[in-house]
Structure 1
Amino acid sequence: MVSSVRSCLFPVAGLGTRFLPATKEIPKEMIPLVDRPLIHYGVEEAVGAGCRDMVFVTGRGKRAVEDYFDRSFDLERMLEARGKGDVARAMAAISTLASFSSVRQPEPLGLGHAVLCGEALCSGGYFAVVLPDDVMIGEPPVLAQLVDVHEKRGGSVIALEEVAPEETSRYGIVAATEAGEGLWRVTDLVEKPAPDRAPSRLAVMGRYVLSPRLFDLLRDLPRGAGGEIQLTDGLVRLLKEEPLWGVTYKGRRYDCGTKEGWLRSTVSLALGDRALREVVLDVLREEAVAEKRTHVCSSCQKEAPELA
């Protein structure tokens, strides 16, 4: 598809401390979800939305993200020599998904700062932002749903999801007026409010289509919560100058930002894969039988002294 949103920015400089020790040497974005790393899902979604320039805002120890989207000629030659030409061509195709570039975020100063670091590599027009912790599966792709609203209505667009009242303190929450089916005109944003202070239950998720004007606003923004430059604060200023739309997207979000969420996502996606579904179900059956045997054996051991 041809899109007016050419660049997509991926903030991937985080340390991934929730996944330690796995992320001591491996970037969190490279943790596999079934058969692909998390970052691959985000790039495919951006390509499906018409983006052609992928910009990684990285930090120390993130070289593997860049290498993944580069050619690996030694690997391809080895696969070819072993008669695995199809696999070799699939590996080579990864580098042709889009154009890839990267820039360092010199210090961890928040999501708004990460976005600002990518300014020089964006194409000058409206740009997208994808947070790879949230893997989103939709048809059309979730980011494409946001781009469609931008192209029809102008302005910036953010993805929204209705959350339970007790979960508002985990997200940025919007105040908004309904402008159509699944479409909202955002009038304010509040970062992680307590349930009794939340203006709604519509939470901002990790997909954005943003105006280049945001870069100027972020540059002049004082540090907010945690001494960081908050993207939410920049969006509050932006909506005073141009429309900010929210889309309650059609699709499913897999929260891979925690070990528990990643495990649930892995099992869920595997169950949806015809080739892997029976593997998951077989493991569950085997574990149920093993647990039952363990329980019986434990009972026998407790009863043994009484029988003696």
Structure 2
Amino acid sequence: MKPIKKAIVAVAGSGTRLLPATKAMPKEMLPIVDKPIIQLVVEELVAAGIEDIILVTKWDKKPLEDHFDHNWALGDELKKAGKEELWDQVKKISEMANFIYVRQKGPYGNGTPVLSAANLVDDEPFVFVWGDDLVKSKISFSKQMVDDYAKHGQMMIGVQEVLPEDVVRYGIVKLKEGTMEIEDIIEKPTIKEAPSRYADFGRMILNPDIVEVLKKTALGKGNELWIVDAIRAYVKSGGKFLAKKVEDGEWLTTGDPMNYLKAILTYAMEREDIKDELEKFMKEII
């Protein structure tokens, strides 16, 4: 079994729910305290042993590419100011992995990034992530998934238990009784229709089998190509696909103002240098 060393990161979305903040700035570059969302995603992947990170972009994502490039002018400025430690910290960003950029081609939908980058993963298994989904955990969630794949060789998608009233917002997995094997995925069910409270999110281990299914998958809701539709087709044809729960952590979506703010506060409250003052401030304004 080939080790997983590559990841495809979907970063071609427009971030319309965060307008006007995302009018001239990719949503993945919005800060979580002092790091952009995408850097936290990349750090998680690197901690899982990923070496090649393929970012599937579009025309307005240049700030994202610049973030993972060297900035020698900034380096000169910081060194002249005696801030060499800060420069070392910034310089390491571009050295974390091999960064490859591919323009998204094809229909809208979260399945299209996989097809856009499929020729770069060849016949290897790979991690597929959404660039605005964070998972804060003691051990990198991508590493948890990669380690599981090394044991059983099965494709999987990340899931997290949500409140009953929130199942209407997500794809909810139906599991085979007594297992974490997926039987179906129900998109935004009612509370009564929901087969579980496990919502799927943007962390997956995929292999070429699902790529072939995705190539044959018809456009779905909104005339878009959905990765979940390919997973459902794969499962219904007899394929095995697992749900993977986050261990010692939580999934934090950042795609709307409220969840974005929750993510910032979650990360900020674990920062020793700011948490006490932040907590004091929060008590003052509440």
The question of a shared fold, defined as TM-score above 0.5 by the shorter chain, is answered with yes
Query: Alignment partner of 1:117: what SS?
Result: helix
Check conservation: 1:54, 1:99, Cα contact below 8 A. yes
1:43 corresponds to: 42
Q: CA, structure 1 residues 149+285, in 2 after alignment: closer, same or farther (shift >3 Å)? A: closer
User: 1:154, 1:243 within 8 Å by CA — same for their partners in 2?
Assistant: no
In the TM superposition, what is the alpha-carbon distance from 1:195 to its structure 2 partner?
Answer: 2.1
RMSD across aligned positions (CA): 1.7
Displacement, 1:78? Answer: 1.2
What does residue 245 of structure 1 align with?
A: 242
CA distance in 2, matches of 1:257, 1:186: 26
Contact 1:34–1:269 under 8 Å retained in 2: yes
Q: Which amino acid aligns with 2:215?
A: R
Conserved 8 A contact 1:7-1:123: no
Q: Which runs of 5+ in 2 are unaligned?
A: none
3-state SS in 1 of match to 2:202: strand
- Identify which of 211, 225, 232 aligns with 2:228: 232
Q: Which runs of 5+ in 1 are unaligned?
A: 289-308
The Cα shift of 1:116 comes to: 1.4
**Contact 1:155–1:242 (CA<8 Å) still a contact in 2?**
no
Name the CA shift for 1:178/1:137 in 2 (closer, same or farther; >3 Å): farther
Structure 2 CA distance, aligned partners of 1:241 and 1:286? 57
| CA displacement at 1:286 relative to structure 2 | 4.1
Question: Hey, what's the Cα distance between the residues in 2 that align with 1:74 and 1:216?
Answer: 45
Greater Rg by CA = 1
Write the distance in 1 (CA, Å) between the matches of 2:265 and 2:218. 42
Distance in 2 between the 1:264 and 1:124 partners? 38
Give the Cα separation in 2 of the matches to 1:152 and 1:178.
22
Cα shift at 1:149: 1.6
Measured in 2, the distance between the counterparts of 1:21 and 1:107 equals 26
CA contact (8 A) 2:107 2:225 kept: no
Deviation for aligned residue 1:285: 4.3
Partner SS state of residue 59, structure 2: coil
Deviation at 1:283, TM superposition (A): 2.2
> Per residue, is there more helix in 1 or in 2?
1
Aligned: 1:86 with 2:85: yes
CA distance in 2, matches of 1:286, 1:188: 47
SS in 2 for 1:197: coil
CA contact (8 A) 1:12 1:56 kept: yes
Give the structure 2 partner of residue 53 of structure 1: 52
Q: Is the 8 A contact 1:58 1:102 kept in 2?
A: yes
State the identity as a percent.
Answer: 33
Provide, for residues 171-200 of structure 1, a one-character-per-residue CA deviation record: whole Å limited to 9, x for no partner.
Answer: 111111366xxx611121222222222222
Q: TM-score, normalised by structure 1?
A: 0.87
What is the DSSP-based 3-state SS (H/G/I as helix, E as strand, rest coil) of the residue aligned with 2:244? strand
Change (3 A) 1:287 1:167: closer
Q: Structure 2 matches for 1:202-221, cutoff 5 A?
A: 202-221=198-217
CA distance in 2, matches of 1:215, 1:168: 28
Instruction: Calculate the TM-score normalised by the size of structure 2.
Output: 0.93
Match of 2:6 in 1: 7
Shift of 1:151: 1.1
Aligned partners of 1:241 and 1:121: how far apart in 2? 27
Q: Which residue of 2 is the match for residue 64 of structure 1? A: 63
Partner of 2:285: 287
Q: Do structure 1's residue 254 and structure 2's residue 252 form an aligned pair?
A: yes
**Is residue 184 of structure 2 the alignment partner of residue 188 of structure 1?**
yes
For 2:131 and 2:177, the matched residues in 1 are separated by 28
Number of matched pairs = 283
Is 1:71–1:95's contact at 8 Å kept on the other side of the alignment?
A: yes
